[in-house]
Amino acid sequence: MKRYIYKTGILSLALLVVVAFTNCKAIDNANNAQKGGVIGAAGGAVIGAIIGNNVGKGGNGELGAVIGGVVGGTAGVLIGRKMDKQAQEIEAEIPGAQVERVDNGIVLTFDEKSGVYFDTNKYNINAASRETLDKLAGVFIEYPDTNILVVGHTDSTGEADYNMTLSKNRAYSVTNYLTGKGLSSGRFTTNWFGETQPMHDNSSAAGRSKNRRVNIAILPNEQMIEDAKNEAGN
């Protein structure tokens, strides 16, 4: 079920996580263009980080992607309505997905039956993943005024450096698949975090299979923000 989450203290929190983000070991493995893409996505809004879910401490691995750059006032309400509608369509198309509205964005977390998962040491898009991504592509085409953040992850099996590369390949597999469906590559920011952001317990086979994943956040782009401000008379 969709949940609506409204953050308080956005600016101070964003600044805090930006510091953590730029010091993260995973970011040390990303080039400057990718750092700038993640932090500067959604029409120049500051995107704090991809906050890992340390097992047992709760949280969501992609919530940090949308904590910054919130558009308020009437324009924010107009953006919210558009994002609400998009979230509802994703829920209808992929009933097993967890769809969360967070500030001006949407965060997607999938279960094994409806999500994008990978076998050990693999980054190919399997049949189940293709079905999910095909449905998502249809929604993304319907809502062209959004940016899409794709983030790759692995389980903890193997060497950390290897896993970092594997998560990069997984993320780009998803991005490339979606752009192959006719979506503009300019809408996408792609990043990866290897084994550093588990959402499940890596000590079990079931947990590891769920950590071999790609998560997606959807954000309003400059055009949507500009249109909303014009409509609101800002």
Angstrom distance (rounded) from CA 214 to CA 209: 12
Q: What is the pLDDT of residues 146-188, one digit of tens each?
A: 989 888 888 999 999 999 999 999 999 999 999 999 999 999 9
Structure tokens at 89: 């369509």
Q: Looking at residue 142, what is its pLDDT?
A: 94
| Token pair 């590369």 in the structure block, residue | 165
Q: What is the pLDDT of residues 23-66, one digit of tens each?
A: 333 333 333 333 333 333 333 332 333 334 433 333 344 544 44
Q: Looking at residue 234, what is its pLDDT?
A: 65
Angstrom distance (rounded) from CA 144 to CA 77: 19
Instruction: Count how many domains the chain has.
Output: 1
- Whether the pLDDT of residue 104 is over 60: the answer is yes
Answer whether 193's CB lies under 8 Å from 25's CB: no
- Residue numbers of the domain that contains 166: 3-232
What's the CATH code of the domain at 74? 3.30.1330.60
